[in-house]
Structure 1
């Protein structure tokens, strides 16, 4: 599957020798270089910590929409879809990690875009990462606001609660290096796991009377794909992988973190969505915690609140880190405590969080816009771009077209991966736009800056 950089003497078109190639990762060529003697060290994360941060970031509010997806298409296709997409996401993670090992200088999707598509690719993929990260931050802010509203019985204006949550998330995003929030990663994973278990116990004790549960449900393309977007985007975390791997002590161990992430998330998604759907029935709410009795909903939201907080901070941190490294790469401000460096960093974290907050409360269709940004960018970052990664390295690090022809199976799979990303992008955008139109027609769109 992989095609990694090797010593020149090892380059050979023979398949047996190709299998024996060893990874040569140039520590001095990566984005942060040799950090010996510097004030700020970025390359400190173990693969276990990265796995926790990946899980905390991906298995967050994404799981809360999965039971409603099963209600639309039925248990059997729903579970098959979740497992398939989890396996597919693991495959694309492998291609992404191989690309990072081949190109240590890559820090984010923009850097990868420059290698494959040139300057235009860098700007498009960088902008897309920032937009998607800010949209994801806003999504977590809304989840935090919903949790606080539920816990307080709507005791305060929703805007105030969202502002309180945004302020807390801002401080989570502030550390310059991810190792400073590593302990929060463990806490976040434990919290979202316990929240899911509490929700399953609550709905099991208090099932919905007269509920309807179906193995399969015939649907139109629009309704089916609308449901499919939930599990598709529940795995939409690959856009952060380059940034996380860049802060690992041993990037070569990144695949271990990916295995932990996809194994945990896929199993947890299947169990959680099936239990909630079976006991809540076809009327299961989205977010799923709203299907629980009030006390159980408060317990689940209260426990998950810490996970929403860390995820919001991580997304804001990602957008800020991309911009910060883009402008200060190889300068003293990266590794030294300078007034300018810290001022810019704090300012970036504030701006990204502020934009996410303003959009979440000022744009009535913000929740629908999240779907559009996910369709436009997550479809490529999580799925489609991985095909380009493999094709590029197979061609340039191998023997050109001869490598592509000889490894025709992987070439074909890579092309299909690109087509799958394109399909999700186009269909997801269509579905999201149609949802917005229907929301306006039915009067479901509220007003900005309202409680």
Structure 2
């Protein structure tokens, strides 16, 4: 959400707003395809299990690996968000790496519950915090607008510049990689689409309103994250209120990576459901490893922000968009008359194929622009050193 106003500053308010809404609707459609696939295959617990059905053993390992990698990188991204928030609140009086370490401790503790019903209670204040923080940010931008700001209805730019801005709204809807795990722990998986409609409807609306309001009052100079463009008091207020969201989001990502491996280890064992010493020991170890890896990457890799972009391009592009089309094509083929079903349901078939193609395009283009960004950063000398303040 905090990166979306800067996307409008690059492509203009009209194409940016259209893109945010279109991708929200698109993500709702792919949510539907994922949920239908899950209900058709209740044994699917995560993307790795789905990969086994689609592509065999190789698909299982590839999609499981991608889930873990993206979840760890996403956890690291939330640690950096926490670092920025704590730095803003204290006016950067401490080493930034220390802020990351301070934020990593509660993130680890909050990811310890083994079931999502426990973690879901923490998600309630998480959602409330980002909602209130967003409202505070919009009010702060309105109370202290940027003088002589420049606004653009639409802008022309190179493919590289434009797609860099497009990746922000694309990956704002990148939570689909957790959907199978979330639905697997619902009391009534049949109600999953109610949750998905609520999620996508709320997120798309709030993303659009926040991006437009902040951009209109700050202009083309808006920073990413957007709160950093606010007047100091409002910036501190917004970051302070948003901290629970950064914290719980990081915990949920680390929990997801750990849960995939935990279920993989103990799927046919009593350690999965019972309170055994072995089960809890392995769970603690996995949580520690996932959070530890996220922390090391966040503070030890100078180009970590770019690596998040690469991980999102390689995996989230498929989990959120592309692979949903493959789910529909697989089930309609095997549950029906094969290609005859595809021909009979030609519109859905074309839509599923287009979804798959969209995922491939986002994957390739996103990876390209991110790698080019890394090359340009090294050429310009803006890349720092590992474990620096």
**TM-score normalized with structure 1 length:** 0.86
2:334 corresponds in structure 1 to 396
2:248 alignment partner in structure 1? 310
Among 299, 303, 310, which residue is 1:365 paired with? 303
Aligned match of 1:339: 277
Please identify which structure carries the higher helix content. Answer: 2
Distance 1:443 1:64 in 2: 26
Q: Which residue of 2 aligns with 1:266?
A: 204
Structure 2 counterpart of 1:330, from 258, 268, 276 = 268
Q: 1:384 and 1:329 mapped to 2: Cα distance?
A: 28
Q: Among 138, 152, 155, which residue is 1:200 paired with?
A: 138
Residues 325-373 of structure 1: per-residue CA shift (max 9 Å, x gap): 0010020101111111000000000000000000000000000100000
Distance in 1, matches of 2:14 and 2:109, equals 42
Shift of the alpha carbon at 1:155?
2.1
Name the structure 2 match of 1:132.
70
> In the alignment, what sits opposite 1:78?
16
Greater shift, 173-182 or 121-130, is seen at: 173-182
Query: Partners of 2:53 and 2:19 in 1: how far apart?
Result: 33
Residue 89 (structure 1) aligns with:
27
2:296 maps to 1:296: no
Deviation at 1:448, TM superposition (A): 0.7
1:122 and 2:54 matched: no
Q: Which residue of 2 aligns with 1:23?
A: none
CA distance in 1, matches of 2:197, 2:314: 26
SS at match of 2:219: helix
- 1:68 is aligned to 2:2: no
Cα-to-partner distance string for 1:8-55 (whole Å, 9 max, x where unaligned): xxxxxxxxxxxxxxxxxxxxxxxxxxxxxxxxxxxxxxxxxxxxxxxx
Who is 2:83 aligned against? Answer: 145
* Unpaired stretches in structure 1, ≥5 consecutive residues: 1-62
State which structure, 1 or 2, has the greater radius of gyration over its C-alpha atoms: 1
Q: Once the two structures are superposed, what CA deviation does each residue of 1:233-278 show, in whole Å capped at 9, x if it has no partner?
A: 0001100000000000110000000100110000000000001110
> What per-residue deviation string (whole Å, max 9, x for no partner) do you get for residues 412-437 of structure 1?
11111110000000000000001101
Match of 1:211 among 132, 149, 161: 149
Compute the displacement of 1:402 (Å): 1.4
Shift of 1:185: 1.2
Looking at structure 2, the residues matched to 322 and 436 of structure 1 have their Cα atoms a distance apart, in angstroms, of 31
State yes or no: 1:184 paired with 2:122. Answer: yes
- The residue that corresponds to 1:379 in the other structure is 317
Distance 1:257 1:330 in 2: 29
Match for residue 276 of structure 1 among 206, 214, 220: 214
Q: TM-score, normalising length from structure 2?
A: 0.99
Please give the alpha-carbon distance, in whole angstroms, between the structure 2 residues aligned to 1:262 and 1:318. Answer: 20
Partner-residue secondary structure (3-state), 1:83: helix
2: CA distance, partners of 1:309 / 1:185: 10
In structure 2, the residue corresponding to 1:352 is in which secondary structure? helix
Is 1:420 aligned to residue 358 of structure 2? yes
Residue 355 of structure 2 is aligned to residue 435 of structure 1: no
The Cα shift of 1:182 comes to 1.9
- Asked if residue 449 in structure 1 is aligned to residue 387 in structure 2, the reply is yes
Which residue does 1:356 correspond to in 2?
294
Deviations 1:221-240 (A, max 9, x none): 11111110000000011000
Task: Name the CA distance, whole Å, in 2 between partners of 1:185 and 1:306.
Answer: 9
Q: Deviations over 1:396-417 (max 9, x none)?
A: 1112121111111111111111
Query: Hey, what's the Cα distance between the residues in 2 that align with 1:352 and 1:218?
Result: 41
Which residue pairs with 2:163 in the alignment? 225
- Between the two proteins, the alignment pairs up a number of residues equal to 389
Q: Which runs of 5+ in 2 are unaligned?
A: none
Q: CA deviation at 1:156?
A: 1.7
